[in-house]
Structure 1
Amino acid sequence: MKTTTGYSGLQIGLHWLIAILIVTAWFTGEGAEEAMEVVEEGGAAGFVPHVAIGLAILALVVVRVLVRLGRGAPAAPGEPGSLSVMAADWGHRLIYLLMIAVPLGGISVFFLGLDVGEVHGLAANLLMLVVLGHALMALYHQYVLKDGLLRRMMRAE
């Protein structure tokens, strides 16, 4: 994968939009459970915001991955090969994996009727924990280490 010194405006916009949608999806999960109960009883669920948000997340993450593959991303700060750089790289990989797996799990439940709702919910909770850890590490870099890391996701280069 290519490396660059900063993120593009598109990458930054996708990052923050997906972050907002992930949090919103997490808080609207109860509504999806209620809709599934209606469907299981033979009714029509109608429009379910949680499902629409999950589909939007999946579509935007696919775009984000394609942009990242084409444009690249800045390297994690620190000595290449160090534990902190490897942790950052693997943390990002885990976030991307979960951002794809969680919506696919939701699709499996809502559209395919597979009984994986508990796994989907567990994976969504794991995604939230990893994303919160990611945010805390970004704040740690910005305000404790004072290395300007957070600015990379605020200003396009």
Structure 2
Amino acid sequence: FASFAGQTKKRSYNIAQILLHWAIAALIIFNYFVSDGMGRAFRQHLNDSDTGYNLVASLHVYVGLAVIALVVIRIIVRFMSNKTKAKSKSAIDRASRIVHECLYLLMFLVPVFGAIAWYLGIHFMGDVHEIAMNIMMTLVLLHAAAALFHQYVLKDGTLLKMLGQR
């Protein structure tokens, strides 16, 4: 979305931003696809039951904790980088900023909600975790569509920059 209708400033991402972006994306996608059965595993966990112990469920939890840590690092790296931002007032640029801010918030909160549910045994937070994850994945699809739009319609190289090629 950025720089769609107006100011076009070159944006470049440092290697830390690129690696963190793709590492977090891979972990989130992994956890999304291995989340089937987490409801049952969570109920067993709440009942202190070892019956049907599932290694994938434990992996899901630990990957979620890794996402929290990497998102915190990513936010620090983002603030420390000298990335220039176009101060465009277009609706598309504002929408882009809102989507990115929501993604950052949800990348942090989704696993936090899951950790609260898992470690504090608050069943309701498991439901919040699942709903927030679905909202986040919708925004991820919108983000990916925007990246493809930039690459193939606007031809501004935004996707190549995030792949470290510009």
**Alignment TM-score > 0.5, same fold:** yes
The residue number in structure 2 matching 1:129 is 138
2: CA distance, partners of 1:6 / 1:154: 11
Report the CA distance between 1:37 and its aligned residue. 2.1
2: CA distance, partners of 1:106 / 1:121: 8
Which of 65, 78, 91 is 2:75 aligned to? 65
Q: Secondary structure at the match of 1:29?
A: coil
Contact between 1:21 and 1:53, CA under 8 Å: does it hold in 2? yes
- AA partner of residue 150 (structure 1): L
* Runs of 4+ off more than 6 Å: none
2: CA distance, partners of 1:99 / 1:153: 18
The residue number in structure 2 matching 1:83 is 91
Which of 16, 33, 42 is 2:22 aligned to? 16
Q: RMSD of the alignment, in Å?
A: 2.0
* Mean CA deviation greater in 34-43 or 100-109: 34-43
2: CA distance, partners of 1:52 / 1:4: 37
Report the CA distance between 1:151 and its aligned residue. 1.4
TM-score of the two chains, using structure 1 as the length reference: 0.88
Deviation per CA, 1:75-115, whole angstroms, max 9, x where unpaired? 36xx7111111111111000001001101100111001112
* Number of aligned residues: 153
Deviation per CA, 1:8-29, whole angstroms, max 9, x where unpaired? 1111000011111111111111
Q: Secondary structure at the match of 2:120?
A: coil
Report the CA distance between 1:74 and its aligned residue. 4.5
TM-score of the two chains, using structure 2 as the length reference: 0.84
Which of 101, 105, 113 is 2:121 aligned to? 113
Contact between 1:57 and 1:103, CA under 8 Å: does it hold in 2? yes
Report the CA distance between 1:4 and its aligned residue. 7.8
Deviation per CA, 1:97-144, whole angstroms, max 9, x where unpaired? 100110110011100111221111010011111001100000011001
2: CA distance, partners of 1:36 / 1:146: 46
Q: Secondary structure at the match of 1:30?
A: coil
Contact between 2:31 and 2:64, CA under 8 Å: does it hold in 1? yes
The residue number in structure 1 matching 2:6 is none
Identity rate, percent: 39
Unpaired runs of at least 5, structure 2: 1-8
Report the CA distance between 1:149 and its aligned residue. 1.2
2: CA distance, partners of 1:113 / 1:146: 49
